[in-house]
Structures are given as structure tokens and as C-alpha cells.
């Protein structure tokens, strides 16, 4: 499995770089949408580690994305004028990693006290943390307060977004399929039984949170350098819900399904632009209908599937 | 001191509204064990129902009269009770025995559906609307304190509704059945309690309280919009959890507490910008130190 996964990773990275090399020949609009797709795949797959594989319901993913986005953007804005242009990719890369690292630290800070809670309580606390993070950015003058940050250099191109997505998918897949990763699934299936078998559920939950938050942070950095504009309202509760819907639609814990869902849900609103008035109403109806008709997700087919709790 | 008392009055007026909404969350949670995310939107619909009933009621009753205001309040409560029952029947009942997460996500879906439908230009539109004055607006000055007639109405209405709710839950057959279902659904069913009708009744009761909260909120702040239920609903839910979810006096206490603390924080210059984050900070603190809330007993999970 692992060598296969590595081959996929190399292929994906190669494809991303080749397409990126020819990006001048593509329509800018389509390229922009493709970058959105890459970023959303990262967000959905990283949330899937927390919500799907580990079975913890987090509603605060946009908060981690905001942390990464703001940190990376501020980093570029501070360093760009000071350093020569050839260092751009280095600054960008360092900024993304820094944003991811700080998001991961936030994930740790959120995870340690709250992961003793479960189910609804966890959902509402993560939602609360997401809101607190947003309020902090909305108030902080350093990060542009309510107006947000503008003039962020437009550095995210296709190669960055899709390499990020490929690495994220690779890391999450390898992590879950490793011996260590069985713990995530054990925690999801039955926390009490898992801890009776010597698995420390809190440790696994925190690990899932930290890794998930890291990739959400990196995705936030990519997003910031794609839109070249960040505003705190872009990271509200709704954004978290968007990511959650991708995970649910794809099927919790089904990486391939989640990737397909992330692609579909990014493209769908673009195609529905003419019906923009009804777009969100349809979206909400879709969530309700899927939950009633296919709660296991659209892309989960009968494999040996134990009843979910 | 005067400023302290003034803030306390303002805070209690806000807290009373949170308390009314929190009761609905806590009742539904007590029975079905899930967060009804759409409850905040029922609160919003209550305010809009008030907006549309006011001109109708004013044809019969004198405008800005207490009797007219009462009729508007009762009509909005009735409409929202119906809507609450409808939401439960259409969206939640088909999922009755499904995993809790499924129901939670459906609730989020229902909430989004109501919000976006109401924001559509053919429904309410996204722009804020001015809410009419339902009752004569007066202010009284006691020493240096200012108390408005709206605040008095908020206190009186909330208190009355709480007393009525307490009576329904503790003294009537319906209330006894509600408590039985929340204690043990299966055993209650075996004793001949009709679970479906109890759940419908609970949704109706909670939604009516939310509608009352919506009208009182609209009277206090004079401006309503289709997204007003999002933040207020979340804070009311926080209030329910802080008080101990499933516990009615706890929800009322939590609501008052959140309202008062938020108002005081809003009065402190450095903190006022963080106002929206305060409720969540309290929530996290309470959940860390007393995970079952202020007023409930710790529960032991059976394996």
C-alpha cells in the first residue's frame, strides 16, 4: 500500500508541476477554479482525518484555516519588500509552513482541553473556538481588523495548490493506513473499547486535531495568496459548514469519496452562478436529503461496513 | 454604582431573551439528545411573524396598545409552534433512530435552508427591516437609572412564560409525559406514552418560546433580519449548555448569566470588541471545569 501511495504522490506532484508549467496557456478563470478545487481538497481531506477517520465532530475547521491564512499572509507582506524577488518561493513556502505550524499549535491548544468532550459538546466547543478565532482577527489591528488584509502577493499558482493537496492526501492516507493509524479508527468505532485495549483516545484525538489543523492552516495560506485578500467574515461558521458538507457528501472516512465531493462542491456553485438566488437554498436541501436518503455519503458503496455509531 | 445597576438591568433584559430561546434548546435536547440548530431560525421567524401580524392586528386593536401587542405575541407564538412541529415531522422524524451525527447535520441543513429561503428576495430579503413599536414606548427615570417600557415588558413576559412553562412541565399530564420520555424513552413508551405526540408537543412548546423571544428581541432592538437567529441562537445554546443541558431552570439561569456578562463586557472599553467571543469563552471554561453544566449532576457513562 505504502509504495503504491508513494507512486501516486510522485505522479500527482509531477502532474501538478507539468500543468503548472503550461498554466500560461489555460484560461485564467478555469485555472482559478482549479486552484480553488485543490485548496478545498486539502481542507476536506484534513477535516476528514478528524471527522471521518477519528469520528470527532469538529465545526471549527475554518478557524484553523484563518490562523494559517492570516499568519502566512502577514509573513509575506512583511518580508516581500525586504527580500529580493528570487526568494519569493522560499518566503512563500516558509510562510505556508509557519501558518500551518501555528494552526497546528492552535489545534493543540483547542484539542487538549476539549477533546475530553464528545459528540455534540465537542461540535459546539469547536464551533465556539472557531468563532473566538474569528473575533480575535476581526479585532486585531495587526491583521487589518474588520476590513481584513489586502494586497497579499498573488503567489498561489496551480502547482502549489495541487502539490499541497497531493501531499495532504498522501500524509493522511499513510497515517491512517499505518499501524499507528489503526488507533484513529479504533477510537471512532468505540472509544471505551479502544481505551480498554490500551489505546489512549485523547492522544489519538489530539494527534488528529493537530495534523488536521496543520493542513487546514497551509490551505488557508494558499487561499490567502490565491485571493490576495482576507477578511474575517470569510472564515465564519458557514465556511466550516462548507467543509463539513464535503466530508459528509463524500462519506466520512472515505478519502476518495471526500476528494470527489470536494471537486463537485467547488464546481457546482460555479455552474450554478446563473441561479445564484436559489443556489444556497438548493445546497441546504441537498444536505437534508442526503442525510435522510444516504447518510453514509454519496460515494460510499457497499463494502464491508460496520454500523456507524 | 448607578452605571453598574444600569448595566445589570440591560444585561438581564438581554439575558431574559436568551433564556427563552435556551429553554427550547434544552427541552429538545432533553428528549431527543441532539442540538436543534434550526431553533435560532425559529426565533428569527417569530420576529418576522410579529412584523407581518402587526399591521393586521392594528386594524382591530388600537395601534401601540398592550392588548394589541399581546395578540401579536400570541399569534407569532402559535405560528412558530406550528412551524416547529412541521420541521420536526419533515426533517427529524425520518431520522429518529439514526446516528446522532446524522441528525445534527440535518439540523444544520434545516437551519441553512430557513436562512437562505428567508434571505431570498421573494421572501423577506436580506436587508434588515425596521420592527414597529408594538407597545407605547416610555422611559422611566429612577434616580439616575433609565428603565424603558420595553424592558419592563421583557421581564414581565419572560417571567410569566417561565411560570406557565413550569406549570406545564410539572403539573400537567403532557408535562409528566415529557419528563418521562426524557428520562427513558422506551420505558415511557411501554407505559403507554405516545412518543411522537410528546416530541411534537415539545417542539411546539420550545418554538413558541423562541417566537416570544424573537418578538421581545425585535421590540428591544427595533431591527430584524433573516440572519439574526444565528449569533443569538448560538449564544442561547451556549446558555443552555452552561446551565446544564436538559435542565430547565439551568437554561434560564444560563441565559441570564450570559446576557449579564456579555453586557458588562460590552461596557468595558478594551473588551467591547470581543463581545461576540465572550459567550463562547464562558462555555469553554464551564465545559472544562464542570462538563455537565452549572445546575446538573455529573453523570456516569455505563459501558
Per-residue pLDDT of chain B (303 residues; tens, 9 = 90+): 788 888 899 899 999 999 999 998 888 888 888 888 899 999 999 999 999 998 888 888 887 888 888 999 999 999 999 999 999 999 888 888 887 778 888 898 899 999 989 988 888 888 888 888 888 888 888 777 888 888 889 999 999 999 999 999 999 999 999 999 988 888 999 999 999 999 999 999 999 999 999 999 999 888 899 988 888 998 898 898 888 888 888 899 999 999 999 888 887 777 777 777 888 888 888 877 877 778 776 565 555
Buried b / exposed e along A22-46 (16+ C-beta atoms within 10 A): eeeeeeeeebbebbbbbbbbbbbbb
What are the backbone angles phi and psi of residue B129, rounded to the nearest 5°?
A: -115, 155
Closest-CA distance, A162 to chain B, in angstroms, reads 29
Q: How far apart are CA B102 and CA B33, in angstroms?
A: 12
pLDDT value, residue A1? 47
- Which of A 122-151 lie inside 8 A of B, CB atoms? 123-125, 127-129, 131-132, 135-136, 138-139
Task: Check CB contact under 8 Å for B109 and A288.
Answer: yes
The confidence score (pLDDT) of residue A301 equals 64
What does residue A149 show for φ and ψ, rounded to 5 degrees? -100, 135
CA–CA distance from A16 to each of A72, A158, A211 (Å)? 22, 7, 23
Question: What chain B residue is nearest to A115 in terms of C-alpha separation?
Answer: B288
Q: Does A283 touch chain B (CB under 8 A)?
A: yes
Q: Which residues of chain A have pLDDT under 70?
A: 1-5, 23-24, 116-119, 300-309
- The answer to whether B98 contacts chain A (CB < 8 Å) is yes
End-to-end alpha carbon distance in chain A: 28
Cβ distance A20 to A159 under 8 Å? yes
Q: Chain-centre distance of CA B140, in angstroms?
A: 28
pLDDT value of position B302: 55
CA–CA–CA angle B130, B136, B139 (5° rounding) = 100
Cell of A34: 482549479
| Count of positions (residues) in chain A | 309
> Could you tell me how many residues make up chain B?
303
Cβ contact, residue pair A291, B230, below 8 Å:
no
Which phi and psi (to 5°) does residue A81 adopt? -70, -25
CA dist list (Å): A62 to A54, A243, A263, B112, B141: 19, 8, 18, 17, 46
The pTM for the full model equals: 0.84
Task: List CB contacts (< 8 A) between B101 and chain A.
Answer: 57, 119
Closest CA to B238 of A275, A166, A271, A132: A132
- List chain B domain ranges: 13-228
With vertex at residue A67, the alpha carbon angle to CA A64 and CA A69, rounded to the nearest 5 degrees, is: 105
Radius of gyration of chain A (CA): 19
In this structure, are residues B128 and B223 in contact, taking their beta carbons and an 8 Å threshold?
A: yes
For chain B, how far is it from start to end, CA to CA, in angstroms?
53
Which residue of chain A is at minimal alpha-carbon distance from B123?
A277
Contacts of A284 in chain B (CB under 8 A): 109-110, 112-113, 115-116
Query: Is the CB of residue B276 less than 8 Å away from at least one CB of chain A?
Result: yes
Chain B interface mutation, best of A121, A124, A294, highest count of B Cβ atoms under 10 Å:
A124
Looking at chain A, which residue has its C-alpha nearest residue B303? Answer: A192
Residue A248 C-alpha, separation from nearest chain B C-alpha, in angstroms: 9
Angle at A107 between CA A106 and CA A112, to 5 degrees: 105
Mark yes or no for CB contact A119/B100 under 8 Å.
yes
pLDDT of residue A306: 52
Instruction: Give the CA distances from residue A1 to residues A66, A175, A177, A254, in Å, rounded to whole numbers and listed in that order.
Output: 34, 12, 8, 16
Taking Cα atoms as reference points, which of A249, A57, A303 lies closest to residue B35? A57
Select the residue of B230, B237, B274 nearest A139 (Cβ to Cβ): B274
d(CA B63, CA A266): 50
**Closest partner residue to A288 among B106, B273, B288, by Cβ?**
B106
Beta-bridged to residue B223, according to DSSP, are B130
Indicate the DSSP class of residue B119: H
Indicate the pairing of strand B139-142 with strand B145-148: antiparallel
* CA dist., res. B205 & res. B161, Å (int): 11
Which residue is it, cell 420550545?
Answer: B206
> Contact B277/A135, CB-based, under 8 Å?
yes
Calculate how close chain A gets to B32, using CA atoms only, in Å: 12
The mean of the pLDDT values for chain A is 82
Q: Quick one: closest CA in B to A133, which residue?
A: B277
Q: Which pLDDT value is given to residue A157?
A: 79
Question: Which of B280, B285, B289 to substitute to test the interface with A, most A CBs within 10 Å?
Answer: B280
Grid coordinates of A59: 465545526
pLDDT of residue B44: 94
Amino acid at each position: 500500500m505504502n509504495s503504491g501511495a508513494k507512486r501516486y504522490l510522485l505522479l500527482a506532484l509531477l502532474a501538478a508541476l507539468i500543468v503548472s508549467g503550461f498554466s500560461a496557456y489555460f484560461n485564467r478563470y478555469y485555472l482559478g477554479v482549479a486552484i480553488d478545487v485543490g485548496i478545498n481538497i486539502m481542507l476536506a481531506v484534513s477535516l476528514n482525518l478528524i471527522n471521518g477517520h477519528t469520528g470527532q465532530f469538529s465545526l471549527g475547521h475554518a478557524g484553523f484555516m484563518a490562523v494559517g491564512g492570516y499568519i502566512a499572509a502577514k509573513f509575506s507582506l512583511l518580508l516581500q519588500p525586504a527580500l529580493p524577488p528570487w526568494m519569493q518561493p522560499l518566503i512563500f513556502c516558509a510562510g505556508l509552513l509557519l501558518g500551518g505550524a501555528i494552526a497546528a499549535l492552535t489545534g493543540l491548544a483547542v484539542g487538549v482541553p476539549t477533546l475530553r468532550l464528545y459528540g455534540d459538546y465537542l461540535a459546539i466547543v469547536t464551533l465556539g473556538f472557531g468563532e473566538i478565532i474569528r473575533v480575535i482577527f476581526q479585532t486585531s489591528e495587526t491583521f487589518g481588523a474588520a476590513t481584513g488584509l489586502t494586497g497579499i502577493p498573488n503567489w498561489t499558482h496551480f502547482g502549489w495548490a495541487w502539490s499541497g493537496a497531493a501531499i495532504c492526501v498522501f500524509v493522511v492516507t499513510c497515517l491512517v493506513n499505518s499501524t499507528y493509524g489503526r488507533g484513529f479508527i479504533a477510537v471512532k468505532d468505540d472509544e471505551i473499547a479502544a481505551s480498554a485495549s490500551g489505546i489512549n483516545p485523547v492522544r489519538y484525538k489530539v494527534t488528529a486535531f493537530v495534523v488536521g489543523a496543520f493542513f487546514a492552516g497551509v490551505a488557508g495560506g494558499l487561499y490567502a495568496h490565491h485571493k490576495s485578500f482576507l477578511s474575517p467574515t470569510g472564515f465564519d461558521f458557514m465556511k466550516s459548514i462548507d467543509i463539513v458538507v464535503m466530508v459528509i457528501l463524500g462519506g466520512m472516512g472515505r478519502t476518495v469519496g471526500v476528494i470527489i465531493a470536494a471537486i463537485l462542491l467547488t464546481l457546482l456553485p460555479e455552474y450554478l452562478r446563473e441561479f445564484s438566488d436559489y443556489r444556497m437554498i438548493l445546497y441546504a436541501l441537498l444536505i437534508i436529503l442526503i442525510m435522510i436518503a444516504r447518510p453514509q455519503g454519496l460515494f460510499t458503496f457497499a463494502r464491508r461496513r460496520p454500523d456507524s455509531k | 454604582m448607578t452605571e453598574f445597576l444600569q448595566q445589570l438591568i440591560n444585561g438581564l433584559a438581554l439575558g431574559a431573551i436568551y433564556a427563552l430561546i435556551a429553554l427550547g434548546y434544552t427541552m429538545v435536547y432533553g428528549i431527543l439528545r441532539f442540538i436543534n440548530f434550526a431553533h435560532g431560525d425559529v426565533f428569527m421567524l417569530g420576529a418576522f411573524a410579529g412584523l407581518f401580524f402587526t399591521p393586521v392586528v392594528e386594524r382591530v386593536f388600537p395601534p401601540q396598545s398592550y392588548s394589541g401587542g399581546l395578540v401579536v405575541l400570541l399569534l407569532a407564538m402559535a405560528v412558530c409552534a406550528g412551524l416547529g412541529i412541521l420541521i420536526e415531522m419533515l426533517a427529524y422524524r425520518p431520522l429518529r433512530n439514526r446516528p446522532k451525527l446524522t441528525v445534527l447535520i440535518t439540523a444544520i441543513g434545516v437551519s441553512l435552508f430557513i436562512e437562505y429561503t428567508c434571505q431570498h428576495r421573494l421572501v423577506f430579503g436580506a436587508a434588515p427591516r425596521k420592527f414597529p413599536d408594538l407597545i407605547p414606548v416610555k422611559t422611566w427615570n429612577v434616580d439616575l437609572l433609565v428603565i424603558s417600557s420595553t424592558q419592563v415588558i421583557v421581564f414581565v413576559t419572560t417571567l410569566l412564560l417561565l411560570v406557565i412553562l413550569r406549570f406545564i412541565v410539572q403539573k400537567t399530564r403532557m408535562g409528566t409525559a415529557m419528563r418521562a420520555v426524557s428520562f427513558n424513552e422506551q420505558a415511557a413508551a411501554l407505559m403507554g406514552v405516545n412518543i411522537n405526540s410528546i416530541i411534537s408537543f415539545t417542539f411546539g412548546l420550545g418554538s413558541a418560546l423562541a417566537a416570544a423571544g424573537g418578538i421581545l428581541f425585535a421590540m428591544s432592538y427595533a431591527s430584524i433580519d433573516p440572519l439574526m437567529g444565528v449569533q443569538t441562537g448560538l449564544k442561547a445554546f451556549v446558555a443552555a449548555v452552561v446551565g446544564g443541558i436538559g435542565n430547565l431552570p439551568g437554561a434560564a439561569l444560563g441565559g441570564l448569566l450570559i446576557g449579564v456578562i456579555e453586557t458588562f463586557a460590552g461596557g468595558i472599553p478594551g473588551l467591547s470588541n470581543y463581545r461576540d467571543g465572550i459567550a463562547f469563552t464562558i462555555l469553554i471554561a464551564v465545559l472544562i471545569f464542570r462538563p455537565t453544566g452549572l445546575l446538573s449532576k455529573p453523570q456516569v457513562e455505563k459501558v
